[in-house]
Amino acid sequence: NFVLTQPHSVSDSPGKTVTISCTRSSGSIASNFVQWFQQRPGSSPATLIYEDNQRPSGVPDRFSGSIDSSSNSASLTISGLKTEDEADYYCQSYDGTNLVFGPGTKVTVL
């Protein structure tokens, strides 16, 4: 089994760009697709990114996902930060049928 590690929190001002990393402890990050979820306070999670970098219909292109094999990490980048982006963000991947979620990153818009 592997673990996904995320920073506990990130913050920046409106209009800025923030990047959340998701590092896989063992096995290649590129071997299995990564999803990203957003959970606003008091709400259900919502899918932001699937298949590493695909956005569902309705998700703004301010959100983008990428994979970096050199650091064995996935990243979620939020550009043009808005107050409505204040939320918890979770990455998720798998190995076979074993699905693993990251611990979540709290994004604060200053």
Partner 1 sequence: EVQLVESGGGLVKPGGSLRLSCAASGFTFSDAWMGWVRQAPGKGLDWIGRIKSKTNGGTTDYAAPAKGRFSISRDDSKNTLYLQMNSLQTEDTAVYYCITILLWFGEAPIYMAVWGTGATVTVSS
Contacting residues toward partner 1, per CB under 8 A: 32-33, 35, 37, 44-47, 50-51, 54, 56, 90, 92, 94, 96-104
Nearer to partner 1, 50 or 63 (CB): 50
- Cβ proximity to partner 1: between 36 and 73 the closer is 36
Query: What's the closest the beta carbon of residue 65 comes to partner 1, in angstroms?
Result: 12
Distance CA 36, CA 75 (A): 9
The rounded distance, in Å, linking the Cα atoms of 19 and 68 is 13
User: Per-residue b/e over 18-56, b at no fewer than 16 CB within 10 Å?
Assistant: bebbbbbeeeebeebbbbbbbeeeeeebeebbbebbebe
Nearest distance in Å: CB 40, partner 1:
12
Q: Whose Cβ is closer to partner 1: residue 13's or residue 41's? A: 41
Shortest gap between Cβ of 15 and partner 1 (angstroms)?
29
**Closer CB to partner 1, 12 or 95, in the complex:** 95
Q: How many helices (H) and strands (E) does the chain have?
A: 0, 10
